[in-house]
């Protein structure tokens, strides 16, 4: 009988599975798109002009910003001049950068600068200037409001961006989304490693490509597999070498010993960044750090607890299937016990959102290996659909597993509008639509303050 009902439902909607949620019939296209040419991203004009400008949070609470940029020829000037807007007699301040460079096979990077601006005022727009006369470049950013439980704040969410024509559509859509104030980026940046000898020029072109967003708002970075750049065949033995030279994060502020895992507080959110490609077994630095991190989260101060990780723990795509499983086994009980609101991942070049489910009962002998509905569990979002050179992952596991609420094989980005301690509005924007269209949307209820069940309104009709 059940199977007949199921069959009838199947006839009613090809998109709905009796076992789980919705598989959108919409597939953007199945072929990979090519990288935009290097010539599309020439260096800015001017002698030794600063380029590849990007900013991120520089401390635990949002009163500090790290500004990073590259100068191609000369190490100097290595300072940034900055001042708040809106004041008549603004006092200009200067910060000096820590400057580095690296070699990778036969590639030598430009001078990579990282300057930390401290003791900024909350909720203030600052102008900053890099370079010297003739090649000066000016940008601005806004500091967040002071950390607090009901502070509204909007995050963008993106992953696996790369630098193809599709990546360009994703980024263009994101930039046109005027609400998003800070990006939560779930890893896989340039895809330089998909090119011969990990062509590190692709790291430079990517830095120029994303500058129109990264110079103006912080991107919170998580590292993906395309950041590893481990290539013993060309004598490159240091994992994450290009990434760690180019992208600095405030890991010491959260007492981490590695830039690959750390946390920041921003407005009403506590964001924990993990590394899928660093040891996380018991007794390892990442494990010990995370164990000590959860008790520090005060939900009266930061109600929203969000985890970023590259490889998803729940995902029903055939592509990279179960690669995140060992990390799920290590950490899932902690995210459930600590009522994490959202776990955001990338890696799989498709979009998927789960129900609140957990699979923490299983102990090998009891056979209880099926995920179950769990109001304390996070929603898992896989958003590795930035549009990179490897193309979309369109082969889903059938039937759709019971934990999967919505999945679609197309490119896009998401936005999380935190309204107060109980409510946040989440939307996913596929590239094919105009930016204001939400192909998947959900009022998310905070797990600590309002652990009610959510009701999704996925508009999977194309």
Q: Which is nearer to ligand NAG, 3 or 457 (CB)?
A: 457
Query: What is the rounded radius of gyration, in angstroms, for the C-alpha atoms of the chain?
Result: 22
Residue nearest to Fe ion (CB): 347
Tell me which residue of 338, 383, 373 sits closest to 453, measured CA to CA.
373
Of 47-55, 327-335, 409-417, 420-428, the segment contacting ligand NAG by CB under 6 A is: 420-428
Interaction pattern, residues 214-253, with Fe ion; x per rule: CB under 5 A: ----------xx----------------------------
Taking CA atoms, 248 is separated from 99, 108, 222, 318, in Å, by: 12, 19, 11, 33
* Residue 106 binding partner per list ligand NAG, Fe ion, none, with a CB distance cut-off of 5 to 8 Å that depends on partner kind: ligand NAG
Give me the DSSP letters along 75-130. S---EEEEEETT-TTPPPEEEEPEEE--EETTEE--EEEEEEE-SPPTT-EEEEEE
Residue for token pair 């200037």? 129
Question: Is 109 an interacting residue with respect to ligand NAG (CB under 6 A)?
Answer: no
Of 14-22, 243-251, 282-290, 295-303, the segment contacting ligand NAG by CB under 6 A is: 295-303
Q: Which is nearer to ligand NAG, 363 or 457 (CB)?
A: 363
* Residue 225 binding partner per list Fe ion, ligand NAG, none, with a CB distance cut-off of 5 to 8 Å that depends on partner kind: Fe ion
Contacts of 130-136 with CB under 8 Å at 24 or more apart are: 130/50, 130/53, 130/67, 130/69, 130/77, 130/80, 131/46, 131/48, 131/49, 131/50, 131/71, 131/77, 132/48, 132/77, 134/46, 134/47, 135/44, 135/45, 135/46, 135/47, 135/48, 135/49, 135/50, 136/46
- The CB-of-156 to Fe ion minimum distance in angstroms stands at 19
Dihedral, 212, 72, 37, 385 alpha carbons, nearest 10: -50
Residue for token pair 């998401």? 414
Q: Which is nearer to ligand NAG, 208 or 248 (CB)?
A: 208
- The CB-of-121 to ligand NAG minimum distance in angstroms stands at 20
Catalytic residue among 173, 248, 320, 349: 320
Among 18, 36, 127, 142, interactor with ligand NAG by CB under 6 A = 36
455 belongs to the catalytic site:
no
Interaction pattern, residues 252-291, with ligand NAG; x per rule: CB under 6 A: ----------------------------------------
Binding site for ligand NAG (CB under 6 A): 36, 40, 106-107, 165, 168, 172, 197, 298, 300-301, 363, 365-366, 419-420, 422-423
Question: Among all residues, which ones are annotated catalytic?
Answer: 320
């Amino acid at each position: 009988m059940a199977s007949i009902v199921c069959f009838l439902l199947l006839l009613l909607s090809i998109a709905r599975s009796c076992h789980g949620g919705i598989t959108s019939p919409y597939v953007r296209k199945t072929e990979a798109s090519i990288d935009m040419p290097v010539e599309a991203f020439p260096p800015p004009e001017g002698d030794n002009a600063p380029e590849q400008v990007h900013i991120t949070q520089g401390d635990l609470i949002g009163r500090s910003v790290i500004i990073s940029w590259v100068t191609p020829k000369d190490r100097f000037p290595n300072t940034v001049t900055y001042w708040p807007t809106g004041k008549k007699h603004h006092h200009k301040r200067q910060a000096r950068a820590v400057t580095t460079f690296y070699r990778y096979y036969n590639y030598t990077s430009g001078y990579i600068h990282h300057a930390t601006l401290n003791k900024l005022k909350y909720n203030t727009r600052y102008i900053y200037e890099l370079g010297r006369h003739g090649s000066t470049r000016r940008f601005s950013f806004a500091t967040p409001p002071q950390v607090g439980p009901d502070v509204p704040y909007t995050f963008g969410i993106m992953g696996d961006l790369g630098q193809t024509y599709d990546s360009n559509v994703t980024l263009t859509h994101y930039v046109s989304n005027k609400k998003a104030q800070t990006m939560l980026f779930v890893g896989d940046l340039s895809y330089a490693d998909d090119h011969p000898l990990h062509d590190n020029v692709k790291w430079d072109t990517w830095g120029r490509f994303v500058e129109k967003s990264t110079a103006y708002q912080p991107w919170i970075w998580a590292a993906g597999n395309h950041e590893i750049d481990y290539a013993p065949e060309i004598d490159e033995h240091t994992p994450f070498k290009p990434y760690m030279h180019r992208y600095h994060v405030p890991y010491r502020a959260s007492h981490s010993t590695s830039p690959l895992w750390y946390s920041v507080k921003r407005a009403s959110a506590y964001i924990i960044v993990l590394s899928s490609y660093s040891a996380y077994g018991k007794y390892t630095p990442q494990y010990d750090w995370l164990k000590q991190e959860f008790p520090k989260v005060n939900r009266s101060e930061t109600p929203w607890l969000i985890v970023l990780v590259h490889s998803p723990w729940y995902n029903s795509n055939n592509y990279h299937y179960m690669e995140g499983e060992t990390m799920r086994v290590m950490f899932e009980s902690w995210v459930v016990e600590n009522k994490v609101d959202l776990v955001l991942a990338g890696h799989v070049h498709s979009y998927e959102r789960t129900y609140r489910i957990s699979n923490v009962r299983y102990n090998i002998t009891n056979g209880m290996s099926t995920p179950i509905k769990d109001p304390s569990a996070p929603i898992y979002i896989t958003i590795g659909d930035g549009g990179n050179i490897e193309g979309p992952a369109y082969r889903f596991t059938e039937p759709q597993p019971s934990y999967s609420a919505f999945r679609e094989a197309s490119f896009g980005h998401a936005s999380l509008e935190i309204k107060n301690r109980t409510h946040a509005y989440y939307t996913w924007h596929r590239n094919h639509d105009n930016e204001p269209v939400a192909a998947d949307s959900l009022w998310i209820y905070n797990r600590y303050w309002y652990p009610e069940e959510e009701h999704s309104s996925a508009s999977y009709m194309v």
